Structures are given as structure tokens and as C-alpha cells.
Amino acid sequence: MRRGSGKWFWFAALFVLLYIPALTYDVIVSDRSILARVVLTVLIVAYGVGWTIAPRWLWGSDSENVNTAICLALLVLGLVVVYWLGMSSAGLMVYIVSTIAVVLTPWRAIAINGTVLAALAGTMYLQHDLAIDGGQLGTLFSISLGMLAMGRMMRANRALSLAQDEIAALARTEERNRLARDLHDILGHSLTTITLKTGVARRLLESDEPDRALAEIREVEGLTRQALSDVRTTVSGYREVSLSAEVVGARAALRAGGIEADLPHAVDNVRPELQGVFGYVLREAVTNVLRHAAATRCSVRLGDTWLEVQDNGRGAGVGEPGTGLQGLAERLAPLGGTVLAGPLDGGGYRLRAEVLEAV
């Protein structure tokens, strides 16, 4: 139980302060022996104090065995006091009976409280006090049932609160993963293309071709603006990827890298619900080709539920398991899709994404 859940217990404990002092006074002024009065007073005070401070441990502990041990200790102490004072004081057990009903699991509470009530009833019957003091048993039974229901409700509320905390933690983790995945896909591709184009612009300037270099720099400026816009929309959670736009971007990026691009001119044959995720796949695949493949040719093929990218590069290093491919696998998993990547027997590399299940 959460420690904060037992705050209401402190208010209930105030009733102890109303009953225990009066009971203690009656014992002190009774005609019992001095030793009996001292011992009984100590037991009554110990019972009251123990019940008052017990919530600190009962509500702060998640161990059912620890809670049971504390409750049983207080139960034994209360029974000793009741049996010493007489059955007319059986109502004193209301404190520990209610505590057991709330704190312990239902079946354990029922077993313990049922045993206590049966013991008190049996004693009253043997002492011929059942007709006089039996009403207290009805009160104890009613309070026990009411507190048992309250205990179940509090446990259900705690479980719900823990579930909500877990859901919130999972949501935060998923959002961090989404943000990291999207930023990797966006910045990886954009920065790779910008690097290639600035290299082309530098070589053009060195070759004294300022007009062509200026055109490349203008494209770099456009790419940086687009990358900044993509980052902003990714952070806000509203970014959508278009497969057709990624095909156009891939063609420009491959051309800047000096790689012959064999790309489809239309994406209509791809199922609409898969075009967004396939756009991410194409972006990551082309980025890997530009970074690692050292290829001179790259081809892209599309089907209704699949996309395949091949190059004639060195066939090593491209698409090795890392953040990019892991991100693609995470994007495709909810759709029942898979990502296969590896070198080809005749040289080169292939990355294939396919959705095997109906969306």
C-alpha cells in the first residue's frame, strides 16, 4: 500500500484518544491489585499507541507477510486486554479488526477476523454473556465487512494508479523513440545530400565554373531550409512523409553523388496506407548508399506491398544493423512488415521492405 493512502487512518486514530484514556482511568481506579493495574494499563496504552502508529508501516510496506505480522501482534495484544477486562470490552477490538480488513488481502482478512469473532462469541457463550454483550459482535462484523470493501477499493485504486504511471512512462519512452527515429531519418539524409552538394560546389569553384557552383549552393540553401522545417514539424509531431517526394529527393541526391539513378516515375502502384512508411525506407536506403556503398548505380523497385533498393557498390557496410535499420523495423512492425538487408552474391547490396500482413 502507498504510505499516503493511510492518511485517513490518522483521523480514525483520534477515536482511540477518546476511548483509551477513559478505559485506562477505569483500570487505574479499579479495585484490582497494584501490579494488575500497572500491567493492564501498560497493555492498554501499548495497544492504543501501537494501533495509532501502525499505519506508518502498514501503508508503507508492500509485504503481505510483514503487514500480517504487525496486525497479528496488535491482535494478540488486544485480545489479552479484552479477556483480562471481560467481554463487555470486546468493542475494543474494532480498531484491529478494521485495520486487518483494510490492510490485508480479502481472504486472509476474512480468515483472521472470522477466527477472532468466533473466539469472542464462543467465550461469551461459555460465560453466559452472549445475550448481554453479543451486540458488540454484530458491530464488529458489520465494521469488518465495510472496511473489507474499502480495502478492496483502495487496492483497486492503487493498481489503477500504478497502471496509469506505467502507461505514462511507456508513452514518454515511445515519444522519445519516435523523435530520435524521425530526427535520424531527416537529418541523416539531409546532411548527407548537403555534404555531397557542397562538395560539388567546391569542385565547380575550383574548376572556375561559378554559375554551376552557384546553382548547387542555391540547392543547398533550399535543402537546409527544408531540413529545418522538417525538424520543427517532427518535434511538434505533425510531420508526414510522401513517397513521391522522397523519390524526387532520392533522384537529386544520387545525382549529386555521381550515382546513376534508376527510379520509378510514379508510386501509384503502392498501397496508399504504405506510402508514408515506404518513404522513410527509401530515404534511409538512399542515405546508406550515398554514405557507404561507393556505388555507381542504384535502382529502386516498388510493388503494392514492397519496396526494394539495390546498388552495385562494395556490398559491405551498407545497411549494417544500426539506428537506421532498427528505426525502419520499428516503423514497419505495427503494419506486419519486415526489413531484409544484405550483400548480393554477384556484388552490390539490397534492402527490401515488405508488408506481409493485410493492413
CA distances to 202, 247, 260, 317 from 254, rounded to whole Å, are: 18, 11, 7, 18
Res. 309: pLDDT tops 80: yes
Domain ranges of the chain: 3-166, 242-359
The Cα–Cα gap between 340 and 325 comes to 9
More confidently predicted of 30 and 234: 30
Res. 192: pLDDT tops 90: no
pLDDT confidence of residue 233: 65
More confidently predicted of 166 and 281: 281
The Cα–Cα gap between 249 and 58 comes to 64
* pLDDT above 90 as % of the chain: 6
More confidently predicted of 177 and 108: 108
Res. 45: pLDDT tops 90: no
pLDDT tens-digit series, residues 124-173: 888 877 778 778 888 888 888 888 887 778 777 777 777 777 777 776 77
More confidently predicted of 232 and 284: 284
> Looking at the domain that runs over 242-359, which CATH code has it been given?
3.30.565.10
- Dig out the grid coordinates for 212 from the structure: 554551376
pLDDT tens-digit series, residues 229-277: 666 666 655 556 778 888 888 888 888 788 898 999 888 888 988 988 8
CA distances to 78, 79, 162, 172, 261 from 119, rounded to whole Å, are: 13, 10, 39, 54, 90
Q: What kind and span of H or E run contains 20? A: helix 7-28
pLDDT confidence of residue 352: 92
pLDDT confidence of residue 5: 46
Phi-psi category of residue 354: left, alpha or beta, with phi > 0 → left and psi -120 to 50 → alpha = beta
pLDDT confidence of residue 311: 92
Q: In what order do the strands lie in the sheet with 306-311?
A: 260-262, 297-302, 306-311, 349-355, 337-343
Q: Please report which confidence band the pLDDT of residue 196 belongs to, taking 50, 70 and 90 as the band edges.
A: confident
Are 277 and 331 spatial neighbours (Cβ–Cβ below 8 Å)? yes
The Cα–Cα gap between 109 and 102 comes to 8
pLDDT confidence of residue 18: 67
- The candidate with the shortest Cα–Cα distance to 328, out of 293, 359, 285, is 285
pLDDT tens-digit series, residues 325-355: 777 888 888 888 999 888 888 888 999 999 9
Helix, strand, or coil (residue 300): strand
Average pLDDT, the chain: 79
What is the Cβ-side half-sphere exposure of residue 62, based on CA atoms within 13 angstroms?
3
Res. 2: pLDDT tops 70: no
pLDDT confidence of residue 300: 93
- Dig out the grid coordinates for 247 from the structure: 523519390
pTM exceeds 0.75 for this model: no
Strands 260-262 and 297-302: parallel
